[in-house]
Amino acid sequence: MYSSLFGILNKAIEEQQQLLNHSLPKEMYEPMSYIIGLGGKRVRPLLTLIGCDVFEKNVQTAIPSALAVELFHNFSLIHDDILDKAPLRRGSSTVHEKWTNDIALLSGDGMLVKAFDILSQSSADHLPALLKLFSKTSLEVCEGQQLDMNFETLESVSVDQYIHMITFKTAVLLGCSLQLGAICAGADLKNQQHLYDFGKHVGIAFQILDDVLDVYAVDGKFGKQVGGDILSNKKTFLLLNAFEMANESQSRMLKEALQSNTGDHAHKIEVVTGIYNQLGIKELALQSANNHTDLALNHLNELEAAPTKKDDLKTFALHLLNRDM
């Protein structure tokens, strides 16, 4: 569907990677090139091109914005991996593992600066709006990461607080990616906002489904350990709803399971999942994801664009959300 756009995007990213490969000092730039070269689905920069294409404009005008999004996203991954002490990213060593924490921090910082530098190469007519949106979103993503870190030490977190956190940490960048493309296409503010809200609600639905998949994924299709969030006591949409809905006995069992240090991982997952099943948490989460998907589609319906372009974007988004349970 978007194979031509993906080809244009990959060519631009490969050219940027080559520039990084030949930049000095290599100790700073090689890690940037390395993480970009690990690939990934590149959904966010692709959405930037789609946000321009949906208004039937030349997507080349959105290339600087798409590259800025890709560099910013990878900057955030480098720093997230340091914070999480993660050994692997996309099946390969994380930057801080392959080099050092100090190099990873500096390379991540460099990628953030590079993102703004590349964005500044956009059309002068659109640059103020692009910079304003990109700066706002960059700060929100960092705020979302801090909120997620705060949740680790808070005894009580509400479901509304959790939705706010994932909106900033994950969803706003999807909305921003689409709106950047719309700005490059010269779309008016109303249509820009509809695209932004479409992407934001798709992002919220995606993260809720990610929480569901951690517990209920078809074995071998999730890409990471099923039940990992339970083992790490992560405050997810499922766990927070379970605590809000649990009776006294179920609440006690949840707390005991989370505090357990026996090393019996299978039993811990079984106990927590059992309470989720008793409370209908999976169904509740799926309904919430569906609600956000419906909100996204409502904004897409209001978009003033060719029906075929809107249908393509709808199909693409639903494909992202159609993940195996």
Q: How far is CA 254 from the centre of its chain?
A: 28
For the stretch 298-324, pLDDT in tens is: 999 999 999 999 999 999 999 999 855
Give the mean model confidence (pLDDT) for residues 125-153.
Answer: 97
User: Is residue 24 pLDDT above 90, yes or no?
Assistant: yes
Q: How far apart are alpha carbons 281 and 274 in whole angstroms?
A: 10
Among candidate residues 39, 47, 42, the one with its CA nearest the CA of residue 91: 39
Q: What is the pLDDT of residue 217?
A: 85
Q: What is the pLDDT of residue 222?
A: 47
E runs forming strands in 149-244: none
User: Is residue 223 pLDDT above 70, yes or no?
Assistant: no
The Cβ of residue 83 has, within 10 Å, a number of other Cβ atoms equal to: 11
| Amino acid, single-letter form, for residue 25 | P
Q: What is the pLDDT of residue 278?
A: 98
Helix axes 159-166, 237-245, angle to 10 degrees: 170
For the stretch 81-103, pLDDT in tens is: 999 899 989 889 999 999 999 99
Q: Which two tokens stand for residue 310?
A: 């809107």
Q: What is the pLDDT of residue 325?
A: 47
Q: Which of 116-130, 179-193, 261-275, 284-298 has the lowest mean pLDDT?
A: 261-275
User: Is residue 130 pLDDT above 60, yes or no?
Assistant: yes
> What whole-number percentage of the chain has pLDDT above 90?
90
User: Is residue 190 pLDDT above 50, yes or no?
Assistant: yes
Give the mean model confidence (pLDDT) for residues 127-153.
Answer: 97
For the stretch 145-174, pLDDT in tens is: 999 999 999 989 999 999 999 999 999 999
E runs forming strands in 68-207: 88-89, 92-93
For the stretch 31-61, pLDDT in tens is: 999 999 998 899 999 999 999 999 999 999 9
| Amino acid, single-letter form, for residue 5 | L
> What whole-number percentage of the chain has pLDDT above 70?
97
**pTM, 2 dp:** 0.95
Among candidate residues 8, 79, 10, the one with its CA nearest the CA of residue 41: 10
Helix axes 265-279, 237-245, angle to 10 degrees: 60
**CA separation (Å) from 167 to 42, 86, 172?**
19, 23, 6
User: Is residue 219 pLDDT above 90, yes or no?
Assistant: no
CB 312 within 8 A of CB 1: yes
Average model confidence (pLDDT) for the chain?
A: 95
